[in-house]
Chain A
Amino acid sequence: MSSAKVYVLHTHSVSPLGMGSAELLAALKNQKQAAADITQFDPAGLAQTKACEVAPAYLAGLDLLHEAWQMVAAYDRKFALWATAVQSEQAQLQALFSKTSTQRTALFLGLGANAIPVQHIAKSVSDFTAFGLNQAIAQLNVHVGKKANSIFNHADLYGNYFRQEIAPFGFCRNLMTACSSSTQAIAFGAAHILSGQADLVLAGGTDSILNQFAYISFGKLGVLSPEECKPFDTGRNGTIAGECAGFTLLASEQFVRENGLQPQIALLGYGNSMDAYKITAPDPNGAGVERALRCALQMAQLSPEALDYINAHGTGTRSNDEAELRAIERVVGSAAANIAVSSTKDRHGHAIAAAGIQEFHVLTTCMSNGLVPANLNCNNPIQTPLELPLQTNQNRKIKYALTNNFAFGGVNCALALENLAL
């Protein structure tokens, strides 16, 4: 495997912790927890009525979009968030994409599944029963122009928007591995740079399950906590839903050199693995997680002793957290006591397919600012030789770090990063 680095030029997201790195840093420093009453539908009567939502003010820019995109955004929250994230950085994106030939640029997007907008159908078609669903769908699902439909769209929608409104690119990949989607998008994007296929890759994703259809059906999996999300606490009982859209710009060494750039973060390696256990549950021994972590360290040519911090997947569910900690313990061995581990899902919720890019942005922000985020809701931590910072953030330099994400179906992905400023 190549020991060449992939450089992280810029990372951006719109999330429940704000828009962009400055707001994210402020929220992390202030130990903001974004969970609040759900506003995108009325959650009355549900076991959990709170989630971490992106504030409506951030989406104000959607009003400036072409009518076709506004129509799509009205049905698809993932698209609304995606358009917001890239539109808000349009000038910088266009400037960077113009620095190399189109064929040397690519998008790698981690995306969630479509949700059937039953609430929209219910509100839009007054005499629904008499009207019939086929007729209702035929009426509501229309081609709005810009190669987009109002309701039912291929995953290519998000790349098509970027191509038409932001900048042309050479090729696009849509990776769809649930909660590991955008983490894998970063990993596979990096692989393309390492293989010489691209100089500049925008990797990221978007997702939201904060609609009635997805939220209620996701809740039926039994993974949503009726209380607060408490990663690594012995009393943890589930995660809290979130949403996010974001991206990171990855570049080759040649691109960085030719353009006189001075990136602060490098992606040194990644590890992918499968549990091959059960579609409904992760391997309780965390063997797949362990393989992903070992692969990431091996590719990064890092010893566990070099690690300062791991931003864990840490969903706050019974099945994830302990298995993840045990896997980390096996990988880092005697270095455990010097490695801080935390999950930030207690602050921003679980953004599903966008969890990877959200937490990548959290990690790069923390690395750039010497901040180790604490596990805010962990009062009775799982016994572990690892350092679990509790309740209060630490000011601490992070030279090398990992970020993990795992998905239903047993997909595991870990990324290894270096702070080049240290």
Chain B
Amino acid sequence: MLATITAIGFWESAMFSVDGTLEPRSELLPNEAINQRQLPHFNAAFRQIQLDPTHPNYPKQSDLKILRNDTIAALVLSQQMQALHQWGTTFKEHGALLVANSNFIDDDVLDFESITTAVSQLQTALDPATENKLFGSTISPLLPLRTLTNGAQSFIAQYLGFYGSSTTYGSTGIASVQALRDACNLIIIDASRLILVGGCHFANLFSFLNNCLLLHDTEGYAEASAASFFMLTAANPKVSGKHNLHILHFYQNLEELQGEHVDWLFYGGAFTPLEDAKLLARCQHLQYQEAFSWFAHTGNLGAAELGMLLAAAGNWLRKGQTAVVLIQDAFGVLELFKVEHA
């Protein structure tokens, strides 16, 4: 046993849970996001988080101009989790915060209209000085902050009053599993005993531009903006919370699943229905009773996928049952590990 998860929270579209509670699998709805033309010859469906500006944990007005929606969701969720679980000094001063972010550029930055204007000005300017002046006038001074890769991590630290060790992982769906692996490492070397691990993802054209050409087929491409977090502590077999999980073991590759028996397989990372099916087929070495992927309900969840899968595992595994959690990135690289319900 490597570590124990003692709290989970997630937010996708209207699915929000600060205590990790998830409805039964049978009540999850299929993804009804509309497939739309994104680029010539490319369609994709995106789901967005339903943010509520009146929420008491909604960020300050002065911060909103440099906050991406995925970061706002991560902020609201993490503050709610802190309020519920009462994470105190041990976490805030001596803990760690490891955040994965699978898209740092939001729609306002990748605003095609303003880029079109900027590029047009580059093409029509008579001299370099005019070009730079015109180009500069189209760029918001907030752009470097809106695209700050550690924006989510830094805002979470600011709003939670977190002073400990922290970093940002990016930019694919397995980044959050890498954060989890590093969190286990920090526990092993006794660098931190309470580690908040999580991820957020902005589903939009920029993400699509990074991913679509890596796929053989983009039919049914779907992504969802989301945020999810979980608290990791030193392994503790005595912990037996409602949705708590023990992290048992990381595998190096799929072949290591040969001969393994688990109750569930939770898998994710696909961008299309075909990829989702192929990913399940790749797990043929594993013997399991049930398998679950979020794809049919949400589409790809980027760096938030791990927390969402762990939430499912925390809710649907019974005490003592085990599962393999597996996530694939856009390049086909896999991260996989085994959990047990506490």
Contact = CB atoms under 8 A, between A and B. Distances in A.
B133 A129 contact: no
A220 B133 CA distance: 12
A295 B110 CA distance: 39
A114 B252 CA distance: 30
B316 interface: no
A143 B215 CA distance: 10
Interface in B5-46: 38-42
Interface residues of B, number: 79
Contact of A409 (B136, B151, B185): B151
B166 A272 contact: yes
Contact of A411 (B63, B150, B171): B150
Contacts of B209: 137, 141, 149, 151-152
A118 B122 contact: yes
Nearest to B66: A279
Interface string B153-189: 1110110111111111111100100100110011011
What are the nearest 5 A-B pairs in CB distance?
A409-B154, A45-B129, A42-B128, A176-B149, A272-B165
Given A155-B170, A176-B170, A216-B132, A409 B123 contact: no
Interface in A147-174: 147, 149, 151-156, 160, 171, 173-174
A409 B153 contact: yes
B210 A133 contact: no
B120 interface: yes
Nearest to B157: A274
Interface residues of A, number: 81
B145 interface: yes
A323 to B, nearest CB: 16
Contacts of B329: 154, 156
Interface of B: 38-42, 63, 66, 97, 101, 104-105, 110, 112, 115-116, 118-120, 122-123, 127-133, 135-136, 139-141, 143-145, 147-151, 153-155, 157-158, 160-172, 175, 178, 181-182, 185-186, 188-191, 206, 209-211, 213-214, 252, 329-331, 333
Contact of A177 (B141, B150, B333): B150
Contacts of A36: none
Nearest to B101: A176
Contact of A176 (B115, B123, B169): B169
A118 B154 contact: no
B119 A113 contact: no
Contacts of B333: 156
Contacts of A122: 119, 122-123
Contact of A133 (B112, B133, B172, B190): B112
Interface string A389-422: 0000000000000000001111100000000000
Interface string A280-306: 100000011001000100000000000
23 contacts: A42-B128, A113-B105, A116-B115, A128-B116, A132-B116, A133-B119, A137-B39, A138-B41, A147-B331, A149-B213, A149-B214, A174-B175, A178-B149, A191-B189, A216-B132, A216-B135, A217-B144, A221-B141, A272-B164, A272-B165, A279-B63, A408-B154, A409-B155
